[in-house]
């Protein structure tokens, strides 16, 4: 049972435009969400997170939006740059017992076209 889903395996975006990566979840107990970025031959690196008490969190070019009623979150990157080409993983956690564990989605490969 895939509790965190990233339905788009890949996405191509022109440099300078907005990249929007989507993530859906099924477990209503999740209350904290993270995005990780992964380059080939490297481990995932933490990018940005959001708590379920918020609906938006912004950090520079990266903004994460959370729609709890739809159990949906998205990562916006604007403007997109060639260095943003990577695989992006959405992950979720609870704030309760077992909060040290993350549930990951399968990732979306983002390619920025110069």
Partner 1 sequence: DAMVIQNPRYQVTQFGKPVTLSCSQTLNHNVMYWYQQKSSQAPKLLFHYYDKDFNNEADTPDNFQSRRPNTSFCFLDIRSPGLGDAAMYLCATSRVTSGGIHEQYFGPGTRLTVT
Query: Where does this chain bind partner 1 (CB under 8 A)?
Result: 2, 4, 9, 32, 34, 36, 41-46, 49, 51, 89, 93, 95, 99-102, 104-107
- What is the Cα 75 distance to its own chain's centre? 5
- Minimum distance between the CB of residue 23 and partner 1, rounded to whole angstroms? 11
How far is it, in rounded angstroms, from Cα 82 to Cα 111? Answer: 8
Backbone dihedral angles phi then psi of residue 84, each to the nearest 5 degrees = -80, -10
- Minimum distance between the CB of residue 110 and partner 1, rounded to whole angstroms? 14
The nearer residue to partner 1, 22 or 78, going by C-beta atoms, is: 22
The nearer residue to partner 1, 36 or 73, going by C-beta atoms, is: 36
The nearer residue to partner 1, 78 or 102, going by C-beta atoms, is: 102
Backbone dihedral angles phi then psi of residue 82, each to the nearest 5 degrees = -55, -35
Number of neighbouring beta carbons within 10 Å of residue 110: 22
- Minimum distance between the CB of residue 92 and partner 1, rounded to whole angstroms? 11
Q: Please give the DSSP secondary-structure letter assigned to residue 83.
A: G
């Amino acid at each position: 049972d895939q509790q965190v889903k990233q339905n788009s395996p890949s996405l191509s975006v022109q440099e300078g435009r907005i990249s929007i990566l989507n993530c859906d979840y099924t477990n209503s107990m999740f209350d904290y969400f993270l995005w990780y970025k992964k380059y080939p031959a490297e481990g995932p690196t933490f990018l940005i997170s959001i708590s379920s008490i918020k609906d938006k969190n912004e950090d520079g070019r990266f903004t994460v939006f959370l729609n709890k009623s739809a159990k949906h979150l998205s990562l916006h990157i604007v403007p997109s740059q060639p260095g943003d080409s990577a695989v992006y993983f959405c992950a979720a956690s609870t704030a309760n017992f077992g909060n040290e564990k993350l549930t990951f989605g399968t990732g979306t490969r983002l390619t920025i076209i110069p």
